[in-house]
Homo-oligomer: A and B are copies of this chain.
Amino acid sequence: MTARSTNTGEGSGAQDPHRDIPEATVARLPVYLRALTSLAERNIASCSSEELATAAGVNSAKLRKDLSYLGSYGTRGVGYDVDYLSYQIAREIGVTHDWPVIIVGIGNLGQALANFSGFSSRGFRTVALLDAAEQMQGRTVAGLEVRPFADLAEIVAAEQVSIGVISVPATAAQDVADAMVEAGISSILNFAPAVLNVPPGVDVRKVDLSIELQILAYHESRKAAEADETVDNGSEEGITA
């Protein structure tokens, strides 16, 4: 899903000896972190794996297994300290300090992203909004002035940006990605419905709205087909006569 996973072996031989956390676990750590934050807001100081798992929408065995990759941060017979575990997960993800982020493409979606509080609340700070369109220049969105796309490299260098968000039309996405990589960005969150080619060492994650809907449609079709069948067959199991 990321360039990292499709381009193993870029040249960094040993797989980071410290600890290597499975990708599936990495994808769930933010969910656990959010669940813990939610517990903390309700003044809950400690919780069992069962409780945290429920809050995160997974089963407790999976949660414990996931946490075991980070270390032993619980207490047997007791559970987990909410604040302590929160910190450990945040540290593992690397969101104990804020990451500067830029957004390229300030259309409807880009504006929504710029205004999205969830971005800034957890470890990210939008430092610039860029758009190529003449008519966007100088406008203010979410308290930031929209700047010309040509300023990309300058901004990335000045603000030490390593994460970029692409919310331009599909046709422009590859060009934007190329420019981002050229400027030194090494992680891209892509909202454009296009496949991006990036060099090894650059991670890309894709959020594709119509793909998600199509996956739902597939299951929806099957439900309809199943319902029809049930009508045809009456019940399904063991009537055999």
Contact = CB atoms under 8 A, between A and B. Distances in A.
A12 B162 contact: no
Nearest to A165: B213
Contacts of A166: none
Nearest to A27: B215
A199 interface: no
Nearest to A122: B210
B116 A209 contact: yes
Given A162-B220, A220-B187, A211 B109 contact: no
A199 to B, nearest CB: 13
A54 B240 CA distance: 48
A150 interface: no
Contacts of A118: 193, 209-210
Q: How large is the interface on A (under 10, 10 to 19, 20 to 34, 35 or more residues)?
A: 35 or more
A218 to B, nearest CB: 5
A131 interface: no
Contacts of A189: 209, 212-213, 216
A124 to B, nearest CB: 5
B236 A193 contact: no
Contacts of A196: 57
Contact of A112 (B99, B109, B186, B217): B109
A212 B205 contact: yes
A30 interface: yes
Contacts of A186: 220, 223
Given A119-B209, A217-B95, A217-B163, A225 B109 contact: no
A13 B230 CA distance: 11
13 contacts: A27-B215, A29-B214, A93-B217, A93-B218, A99-B213, A99-B217, A109-B112, A118-B210, A123-B210, A163-B217, A187-B217, A203-B216, A207-B207
| Smallest CB-CB A-B distances: 6 pairs | A94-B221, A57-B195, A108-B112, A30-B214, A187-B216, A112-B112
